[in-house]
Amino acid sequence: MANNTDNLFKHRFNGQNVTVHKKERIFKQYFAIDAYDISYSRFDGTESKVFRREVFERDADAVAILAYDVKTDEVALIEQFRIGALKDSDSPWLIEIVAGMIDGNERPEISAIRELKEEIGVCLKEDKLLRICEEYATPGGASEKTTVFIANADLSELANHGGLDIEGEDIRVFKAPLTEAYKQIGLGRIKNAVTILAIQYLLIEKEKVKQIFR
């Protein structure tokens, strides 16, 4: 049974089954857009027609970290302005977990440690990080991949403000019980996808996570 299930999730194709006929950067400012003329292998054994797709590029992948205090069963959350939510009916200030971009060839764990310090004032070592998954938020049009962590953190001295002025960040920092954070998802106050993912994962796997963090 396990083998049959494994086969269901086995990829039928890989990157070698995609042909890039042309690639050009058609826009570059704070973000970038690349245009591809591509074709790819189809599940019926044929090749697709050549078609054009534009891809939103940040030229780097990202990390997201849910800082969790095992002793108090609390998580660290932040609030900051997000231009993509400008038309939101409630507010373009979103409640999120710590996140940021990977610098160069930096390992995701190192990026996570840096972002925790910059955004919420929490300093910890790599062995306090639990990597839970990698996710593509909008792979139909954006290339960014985010590595998601849960951090074993002491939130007793959490900063109340974070971010780097040089990056235009203005971040409100607070902590809340895990169950309350989950409740706020249903109430529509937490709308950030990777934040929802991390909170739900921790709620489902909390006992396993606590065992790992002992």
Catalytic residue ranges: 167
CA 188 to CA 201: how far, in whole Å? 18
Provide the phi-psi class of 75: left if phi over 0, else alpha when psi is between -120 and 50, else beta: beta
CA 90 to CA 92: how far, in whole Å? 7
Helical (H) or strand (E) element with 148: strand 145-152
- The tokens 């249903």 sit on which residue? 186
Helical (H) or strand (E) element with 68: strand 62-69
SS3 45: coil
Structure tokens at 43: 């599940």
SS3 155: coil
Q: How far is CA 28 from the centre of its chain?
A: 23
User: What amino acid is encoded at 50 in this protein?
Assistant: V
* Residue 92 per-residue DSSP state: S
Q: What is the CA radius of gyration of the chain?
A: 20
Look at the chain and count its residues. 214
